[in-house]
Chain A
Amino acid sequence: MSTPPSVDRLRDLYRRLLALYPRDFRQRFETDLLQAFDDRRGEPRFRGTTGGLRLIAFLFRDFMTSVPLARPRADRRGIELMINDVLRDLRFSLHMLVKNPLFTVAAVATLALGIGLNAATFSAVHGILLRPLPGAEDPEELVQVYREWAGIEFGSNSVPHYQDVRDRTDDVFENVAAWFFEPMSIAADGQTERTMGLMVSADFFQTFGVDPVVGRAFIPGVEDEGPGAHPVTVISNGFWQTRFGGDPGVVGTTISINGHAFEIVGVTPADFNGPMTIAEPPLFVPLMMVNVIRPGFDMLSARGSNSMNVIGRMRDGVTVERVGQRMDVVLTQLREEYPASYEDQLGTTLVLQSEAGIHPSFGAAQMGMSTVMMAVVGLLLLLACVNVANLFLARARDRKREMGIRLSLGASRARIVQQLLTESLTFSFVAGLAGLAIANVSVGLLAAFRPPIDGPWTVGVEMDSTVLLFTAAVSLAAGFAFGMAPALQAARTETVSSVKGTGGRVGRSRMSSGLVVAQIALSLILLTSAGLFLRSLQSATRIDPGFDDPANLVMASVDPQLQGYDEAEARAFWDRLLDDVSRMPDVSLVALTSTPPLGLNTSDRGVEIPGYEFAENERSSLHYAYVSEGYVETMGIGLLEGRSFTEADDADAPPVMLINRRFADRFWPGESAVGKAVQTAGTSWTVVGVLETGKYGSLGEDPTEFMYMPNRQRFRSDMTLVARTPADPAGVMQSIRQLVRDMDPDMPVYDVRTMEDHMGIALLPARLGGTVLGIFGLLGLALAAVGIYGVMAYSVSQRKRELGIRVAMGADRRSVVRLVLGEGLRLAVIGTVVGLAASLGAARLVQGLLYDVSAVDPVAFTLVPATLLAVALLAVYVPARRAASVDPIGALKAE
């Protein structure tokens, strides 16, 4: 029989609650009490989830009866009375919650959504930006080091530069580490995957203060000596768990990285996920192995090849200013020693790790974004509280009679305040629980989110104790805030002066009316922005990307050189794969490209056009791709003039190029581009064909020049295969994977998907923006609806007498409904007008992210306000109906 882990947590909680008993009782009976708890826990009726709840209720009652029991007789009476009061208030509060389901659902849902989204947003902001790097020791001592160039504030570092900085800053830094992400294909246990690993300097783990849980870290003085001499790796805890089932025996075994054997020497602790909060690299490889991991380029001695992040741990008492002064000295020295490499470097930028966020170059934007997010959800929570307070006020008003009777029967005011506070705190406890559930679900969704890009990217979000405390504080504060007002108001109840019911408009509610207007305006802004994103998505799908039918284009990327192939082997590999895929029955056309369109990366390169003079600031660096013969046909790109590539365009043939119409029109307006020359990459290429202009970087881009060169004339190892299939994209993807596996079982294939899915990346910002704003907007709408309902319900209950008189004087019920509806709608219309004006401003902010949608999109700007007004109408209708059903005699007699 196994007990669920929650029960053990329960036992722990129980043990702590024993502190409620007097000390001598506790000391005498602690083991017996726990023994009794265990005995009870073992009983069938207290097993499982419902059993657990039953056990909690059982223990609660036990505490209530036994805490006074265990005290000396003299104190007992007072405590018993107090506990009786609390119990009675609690029971009454629960009764009130159950008795008014509509009120309870509206209020709990409102507050729960406010609390839940607050906790979720706080988790996200905290997890990604604010939280000190998890797993790192004393993260406030860490400083990121960047080279500053003209126009580049946060420039990366080269290996020799890093080594010089490390060796010359001993007085300010305890350790200086360097790291960068590197694509790696990892084979272990017959499974191959392509992912981003981390190349790190040997003192990386010392710098971050991370001790492996198994094995060892890299050793400075060993793994930073001798390029290629130490094929070892430290694997991440996550990789260790998923691939090796947490077996400590992996230390000493080898795995294959890019076709080379590496010995696993250590496993990182579970809480350390590397130097960035948005990625969890599965393994760490010494920097000195970079020439093995990525052959062909000697990065270790290239002083000008800046691609590394450098981070230092400051010695005790050292300030960032002092590090800066030291770095200036180092830079002066290096300038003298290597004038060519340093003449353009302006200085060094230092950023405290704790202030860097995801990357300092996102700078104010990331903090700004999160501030805005927090402000929006904070505002939503505030509105939620106001709404709930309004609901409570309306109810307090209805319960004035009850309070009056209680007072006249001799209840003390303090007693009544205590009861109402118990009610609102019970309520906020329930709402807090519901909010926590909502937060859990949304955090789960966030954490499960993976951008459609291969790599170990994650959203480092989890509910942690900070978030829990935050939620608890928010919900308690909310409970207190809205509990107080009605409690005080109710306790003030005199001989019920309300008979004088001010008539006319409700004076007190001017502020709540203002808040309702603000709510409607706010949710309108959010909803119209969401609407714009959705409209933009809609029109993006209508944009012609310049090629045919992306749903039937299959892509797969392979880089044979990652697996240690040399150029000849890689060429042979690609030729064979092209041949095999073209023979597959479901594939009609197949080709290769170095840069598929609409991905995240584009490549550009400076060109010279004989006879064309570039103006001073004219853009001369243009996008390009290396493609195989058949690419134009496979993609279905329109050929306007000339020919496309053939197999004959190889290294022995004269260099040829295809350009798009935009390219031709820019450099040779009004004449044929075929036969013209373009100089780039050290060669003169002859244009043999002109293609239709498509979309290359993003769907929203303006027409852009593009050139294609044959991959047979310039070799590239990392290519993407594109295959057109009339019928079965999923089957073709499967077959391509199998073909590659048959040729080399360790060869990783990545980014296997249809072109349509691939294009999803380009649509990601619009999709994310639409979803997030849509959720917040709908929440805002719900809040506004509850808010307007609360205010109107309050107003109706306050004007019961006036409405009763109207009905008694012969007003027909319809006109009463109209009266109340009109008043509610007045608020809604004002809110809508204000919101529309603000939305026009907000639309301008998001315009840059929109495709082909005007910031004043008529659909978004009519549909959204109409929906909002309809919802508002519905929310006003309920209290209006109630107003109309006022019994005139009862209303007049009642007070």
Chain B
Amino acid sequence: MPALPVPYDNALPPGFTLYDDRLADLLPLTPTVFHMLVALSAGPTHGYAIAQEVEELTGGQLVLGPGTLYGSLQRMVASDLIQEAPNPGEDGLHAERRRYYKITGLGSAALRAEAERLARAVDAVRERLG
């Protein structure tokens, strides 16, 4: 797969080069993964909260079922976009034993790159359609 040209190299976090193979393999992100990363970009949280956040972000367009949610989380952990985070503890609200996740450096880079890609696409459309 040819590496995507990503011109905004200043958008990448330290440690990632422009044509990083790992990043190229991950792009473009599927809408599900993209929105889940957006949800996680606000800070570590648990699966159900991610699903709710995604639903809100997409105006109810994307409702993640249990299998899709954890299937995606598993794949995202496998490709190093996110990783498990410690459960913040027994603060009552999250007293149940839920798995927490946080976004990784690679995940942030992929999210940023995907956002730029989408932004360019949006810009192009706006320019042509006025």
A→B interface (CB under 8 Å): 21, 25, 28-29, 31-37, 39-40, 58-59, 61-63, 65-67, 69-70
Contacts and interface: CB of A to CB of B under 8 A. Distances in A.
B69 A36 contact: yes
Contacts of A25: 70-71, 74
B120 interface: no
A285 B27 CA distance: 81
14 contacts: A32-B66, A32-B98, A33-B67, A34-B66, A35-B47, A39-B48, A58-B65, A62-B66, A65-B68, A66-B66, A69-B68, A69-B72, A70-B70, A70-B71
Nearest to A34: B66
Given A39-B48, A59-B65, 17 more contacts: A25-B70, A25-B71, A25-B74, A29-B70, A32-B98, A33-B67, A33-B70, A36-B69, A40-B65, A58-B63, A62-B67, A66-B68, A66-B71, A67-B67, A69-B67, A69-B72, A70-B74
A21 B65 contact: no
Interface in B45-79: 47-48, 51, 63-72, 74-75
Contacts of A70: 67, 70-71, 74
Contacts of B47: 32, 35-36
B54 to A, nearest CB: 13
Contacts of B98: 32, 35
Interface of B: 47-48, 51, 63-72, 74-75, 96-99
B47 to A, nearest CB: 6
A672 to B, nearest CB: 95
A37 B67 CA distance: 9
A105 to B, nearest CB: 33
B48 A35 contact: yes
Contacts of B69: 36
Given A32-B99, A36-B51, A69 B65 contact: no
Nearest to A61: B65
The main secondary structure of chain B at its interface with chain A is helix
Contacts of B64: 62
Nearest to A30: B70
B51 to A, nearest CB: 7
A50 B70 CA distance: 26
A414 B65 CA distance: 33
A15 B69 CA distance: 16
A59 B69 CA distance: 12
Contacts of B68: 62, 65-66, 69
Contact of A40 (B66, B71, B96, B99): B66
Nearest to A20: B67
Contacts of A62: 64-68
Contacts of A65: 65, 67-68
Contacts of A21: 67
Q: What 4 A-B pairs come out closest when comparing CB atoms? A: A62-B65, A66-B67, A36-B66, A69-B71
Instruction: Tell me which of A36, A37, A65, A69 has the highest count of chain B C-beta atoms within 10 A of its own C-beta.
Output: A36
Nearest to B70: A29
A67 B70 CA distance: 11
A65 B62 CA distance: 13
Contact of A69 (B63, B75, B97, B99): B75
B72 to A, nearest CB: 7
A25 B66 CA distance: 12
Nearest to B71: A69
Nearest to A36: B66
A779 B70 CA distance: 51
Contact of B70 (A32, A39, A61, A63): A32
Contacts of A29: 70, 74
A29 B99 CA distance: 9
Contacts of A63: 65, 67
A36 B48 contact: yes
A21 B70 CA distance: 11
Nearest to B65: A62
A67 B74 CA distance: 13
Instruction: Tell me which of B47, B51, B68, B75 has the highest count of chain A C-beta atoms within 10 A of its own C-beta.
Output: B68
Contacts of B67: 21, 33, 62-63, 65-67, 69-70
Given A36-B48, A39-B48, A28 B66 contact: no
B44 to A, nearest CB: 16
A62 B63 CA distance: 9
A677 B91 CA distance: 102
Nearest to A28: B74
A66 B65 contact: yes
Contacts of A39: 48
A63 B66 CA distance: 9
A25 B71 CA distance: 8
Nearest to A73: B75
A31 B98 CA distance: 9
A62 B69 CA distance: 9
B25 to A, nearest CB: 12
B87 to A, nearest CB: 12
B125 to A, nearest CB: 28
Contacts of A36: 47-48, 51, 65-66, 69-70
B60 to A, nearest CB: 10
Given A29-B74, A69-B75, A35 B65 contact: no
Nearest to A14: B66
Contacts of B70: 25, 29, 32-33, 36, 66, 70
Nearest to A45: B63
A37 B69 CA distance: 11
A29 B67 CA distance: 9
B71 A37 contact: no
A59 B63 CA distance: 11
Nearest to B64: A62
Contacts of A66: 65-68, 70-71
A35 B96 contact: yes
A28 B99 CA distance: 11
Nearest to B75: A69
B96 to A, nearest CB: 7
A629 to B, nearest CB: 82
Contacts of B65: 36, 40, 58-59, 61-63, 65-66
A66 B63 CA distance: 13
A87 to B, nearest CB: 15
A23 to B, nearest CB: 13
A381 B66 CA distance: 41
Contacts of B74: 25, 28-29, 70
Nearest to A18: B67
B15 to A, nearest CB: 26
Contacts of B97: 31
A61 B64 CA distance: 10
A877 B123 CA distance: 65
Nearest to B52: A39
A143 to B, nearest CB: 55
A247 to B, nearest CB: 38
B50 to A, nearest CB: 10
A67 B66 CA distance: 11
A70 B67 CA distance: 8
A35 B70 CA distance: 11
Contacts of B99: 32
A33 B65 CA distance: 9
A65 B70 CA distance: 12
Contacts of A37: 66
A21 B67 CA distance: 9
Nearest to B63: A58
A40 B70 CA distance: 14
Contacts of B48: 35-36, 39
Nearest to B98: A35
B53 to A, nearest CB: 13
A36 B66 CA distance: 5
Contacts of B75: 69
B62 to A, nearest CB: 11
A33 B66 CA distance: 5
Contacts of B63: 58
A70 B70 CA distance: 8
Contacts of A32: 47, 66, 70, 98-99
